[in-house]
Amino acid sequence: MQSILPRSIPVLGRQGLSGKAMLSTVTHGPGLFGMAMPPGFNAKTAQLATLKSRERGPPSSIDGRLAKTMPPGFKAQVANLDTFKLPERVTGTAGDVKLGQALVGAWRQDGIVQIAMSDKHISLWQDAKLASRRFFRKQHSEKAVCVDSQSYAGYIASGEEVTDGIADYSEIFTITKDLDLSDPRVRAKWPCHGPCPWPDVDMKEPMVRYNESLGAEGEKLLQLAELGLEVSPGSLTRYTRDGWHHTRVLRFPPRNATNGKGKEGRGIGSHTDYGLLVISAQDDVGGLFVRRPDQRERFANWEKSAAGLKEDDDGWIYIPPVEGVHTVILGDMMQYLTNDFLTATPHKVGLNTRERFALAYFHEPSFQAVLKPLDKVSGGMRLGRGKEQEGIHYGTHFTNMFMRNYPDRVTTKRLIAEDRYRLLSTPEMRTLGAAPAS
């Protein structure tokens, strides 16, 4: 059970301060959340992170209001993140390089960045939120039929998802690549490949539009990350050709109106996500917590499950719901590719006093990709894994994670019954990869 701890919400931050003041906060002594910069961290990158921040004010009233949205029963510091603005297109200009370095610096420091939504994103998110509300308000029987036996797309009831062996209260509609039964991969019984069981066009259309737009945002972020890491163009984006991007449309019940099937107060238990980037939007309720990168908390989710990691420990950072932004955290494959220079961000969701709606878009490698760690990343990437590595087949990692989270789902049962898992090691399933880029 989540321990009930008093609320402790010191509001820390650089938002609203002048660039110079923010700079000294980051480069000397305790940083954004009262911790020193990680060893080997490039101070220049941190400076750029602050200089690129978009100023907003007045900080005190905004901070106080946002801090109060933290779900009851949790103890965490409250983040006050810079908001980055992405260019229309990434072309490799000096400005793009600086922005890329700033994003990489912020991920290394905080594990999360905030990026401004464009006007188009704001309207797409509004539409998606409406569609989500409409869907989750339907009768259970109407939602429960939105399941597919071949893909993991569709409805997941509150109490059905399992994190670290314990049920979550999140209610979810998952969207994976929507493949017709006539698609050769579906016909060949590839694991996780199949249709998305949409309830209706009112759900499908706004979600497809939003996802397409987030796909473009994901590619831009990867291009900027390549610039920030000083690796050649394509080092990351080569893996996202026909990327296995997917989305979770989420509803969290209020903490006093659950069905008793999950862990008290828990929306989703502590975990890392699987691929490269997670771009999220949340409504104004609040519930998301992250952990900053910390060398003392070394984990590698693809080797040993990071689910449940430090769930009830101190050291969580609450990410309050700032209007008009997406947040972006990193997944397992980004950590693997960069030899832990960037690490997957542990996060969890708490239930609040009101129901909460959020959407998480996962920008992923191709299902067929075999990833190898990059040769080098500027700023002193740690050695350890290298070229000699066999690599990670993303499709296998994804399948493992979904089988673990949904052991009782019809999709898992069919996958096992038809021995589909065996296909993951065949050459047809591993056509993107080979030599690592430098």
Residue nearest to ligand AKG (CB): 358
- C-beta separation of 378 from 342 below 8 A: no
350 forms bridges with which residues in the sheet? 266
102 binds, among ligand AKG, Fe ion, none (CB under 5 to 8 A by kind): none
14 binds, among Fe ion, ligand AKG, none (CB under 5 to 8 A by kind): none
99 binds, among Fe ion, ligand AKG, none (CB under 5 to 8 A by kind): none
- C-beta separation of 280 from 361 below 8 A: yes
- Cα angle value 195/143/366 (rounded, 5°): 30
Residue 168 is a binding residue for Fe ion (CB under 5 A):
no
Nearer to ligand AKG, 288 or 333 (CB): 288
Q: How far is the CB of 360 from Fe ion (least distance, A)?
A: 6
Task: Say if residue 280 is exposed, middle or buried (CB neighbours under 10 Å; 0-12, 13-18, 19+).
Answer: buried
Which two structure tokens, joined as six digits, stand for 402? 């979904």
Nearer to ligand AKG, 248 or 266 (CB): 248
Per DSSP, the residues of 203-265 read HHHHHHHHHHHHHHHHHHHHHHHHHHHT--TTTTGGGGTTB--EEEEEEE--TTS--SSS-TT
Taking the C-alpha atoms of residue 173 and residue 176, their distance in angstroms, rounded to an integer, is 10
Per DSSP, the residues of 347-395 read EEEE--SS-EEEEEEEE--BTTBEE---S--TTTPPPSS-TTS--EEHH
437 binds, among Fe ion, ligand AKG, none (CB under 5 to 8 A by kind): none
358 binds, among Fe ion, ligand AKG, none (CB under 5 to 8 A by kind): ligand AKG
Nearer to Fe ion, 150 or 327 (CB): 327
Q: How far is the CB of 243 from ligand AKG (least distance, A)?
A: 17
Residue 273 is a binding residue for Fe ion (CB under 5 A):
yes
227 binds, among Fe ion, ligand AKG, none (CB under 5 to 8 A by kind): none
Nearer to ligand AKG, 176 or 282 (CB): 282
Taking the C-alpha atoms of residue 291 and residue 310, their distance in angstroms, rounded to an integer, is 9
Nearer to ligand AKG, 82 or 283 (CB): 283
280 binds, among Fe ion, ligand AKG, none (CB under 5 to 8 A by kind): ligand AKG
Which two structure tokens, joined as six digits, stand for 73? 């029963």
249 binds, among Fe ion, ligand AKG, none (CB under 5 to 8 A by kind): none
How many residues form the binding site for Fe ion (CB under 5 A)? 1
Nearer to ligand AKG, 31 or 267 (CB): 267
Nearer to Fe ion, 15 or 247 (CB): 247
CA distances from 132 to 90, 199, 200, 226, 312 (A): 32, 11, 12, 34, 30
Which two structure tokens, joined as six digits, stand for 382? 């740690």
Q: How far is the CB of 307 from ligand AKG (least distance, A)?
A: 11
Could you say which residues in the range 232-251 bind Fe ion, by CB under 5 A? none
Taking the C-alpha atoms of residue 200 and residue 180, their distance in angstroms, rounded to an integer, is 16
Binding site for ligand AKG (CB under 6 A): 248, 250, 268, 273, 280, 282, 288, 347, 349, 358, 360
Contact positions toward Fe ion, by CB under 5 A? 273
